[in-house]
Amino acid sequence: MGDGEVLELGSAALAPRSAPRHVALIMDGNGRWAEARGLPRFEGHRRGVEALRKTVRAAIEFGVDYLTVYSFSVENWSRPPEEVRSLLALLHRFIRNDLAELQANNVRVKVIGARADLTTDIAALLREAEEITAENTGLTLVVAFNYGARQEIAAAARSLAEDVAAGLLRPSDIDPAAIASRLDTAGIPDPDLIIRTSGEQRLSNFMLWQAAYAEFLFVPVNWPDFDRAAFEAAIADYAHRDRRFGGLEAVGRKAKTAS
């Protein structure tokens, strides 16, 4: 009982605002999922792609506007070469196999992360996924691949510095909006809810800038076991949070005292 019920029964004006517009997922625990079953780590990653597929479908069903998935960090290159190879192969296969379904479901794909150090075939595949789906108007699926938030912020700073050096910008023009406009996520609203699976409670170089006012949820299931029910529970948990953004009143839904 409590204000959760008010939300579920709430007016049309209240209901949409209690749902997160942008959910970001740190899909962690594939290796542990596999190891617990005596399987190779690769099998955990393979099952992780299945969980991702189902999660995208659920995000569409739940009316989420942006779903960001952390699929490979800049630090993940330090893993054994055969594991890196299998992760790249899975990305390849995911785009090859699932692009048609994403397209049919009006999903727009956007990739964030450094492209420069990717092989040309992976870079071309990512570009193709973005181009084919560019005009879609449904869920935006943001794939964070070869992503590192510190690298992203450093690149934004470099780009601003280049403009200052060229006389296009004054140092006093550099404010949070100017920095945000140079990040890979320019034009994408900040995540409302960041979910990390596997029980780890850290960001691991993910969306450090964008997470300033995100709500966090750390769930104790490994990523391959994350499913529609877990996602629904996460969204319900989010709906009970008060977000104050430094002020005194909850923003985005009725304050607890009001119900």
Positions annotated as catalytic residues are 28, 76
In the list 42, 198, 219, 234, the residue contacting ligand IPE (rule: CB under 6 A) is: 198
Can you tell me the distance from the alpha carbon of 159 to that of 165, in angstroms, rounded to the nearest whole number?
A: 10
Tokens matching residue 248: 């005194």
- Contact (CB, 8 A) for 70 and 149: no
75: exposed, middle or buried (Cβ count in 10 Å: 0-12, 13-18, 19+) = exposed
Can you tell me the distance from the alpha carbon of 219 to that of 252, in angstroms, rounded to the nearest whole number?
A: 24
What residues from 3 to 62 belong to the interface with Mg ion (CB under 5 A)?
Answer: 28
Q: Which residues contact 119 (CB under 8 A, 6 or more apart)?
A: none
As measured in angstroms, the least distance from the Cβ of 195 to Mg ion is 14
As measured in angstroms, the least distance from the Cβ of 73 to ligand IPE is 4
Binding-site partner at residue 242 among Mg ion, ligand IPE, none, CB < 5 to 8 Å by type: none
- Contact (CB, 8 A) for 142 and 185: yes
Annotate each residue in 31-70 with x if it binds ligand IPE (CB under 6 A) or - if it does not, as one string. xx-------------------------------------x
Binding-site partner at residue 76 among ligand IPE, Mg ion, none, CB < 5 to 8 Å by type: ligand IPE
> How many residues lie near ligand IPE (CB under 6 A)?
18
Count each helix (H run) and each strand (E run) in the chain, helices first. Answer: 8, 6
Asked if residue 73 binds ligand IPE (CB under 6 A), the reply is yes
- Contact (CB, 8 A) for 143 and 121: no
Binding-site partner at residue 70 among Mg ion, ligand IPE, none, CB < 5 to 8 Å by type: ligand IPE
Quote the Cα angle for 145-66-156, to 5°.
50
Residue whose token pair is 């727009």: 108
Annotate each residue in 140-179 with x if it binds ligand IPE (CB under 6 A) or - if it does not, as one string. ----------------------------------------
Q: Which residues lie near Mg ion (CB under 5 A)?
A: 28
Q: Which residues lie near ligand IPE (CB under 6 A)?
A: 26-32, 70-73, 76, 87, 198, 200, 202, 204, 223
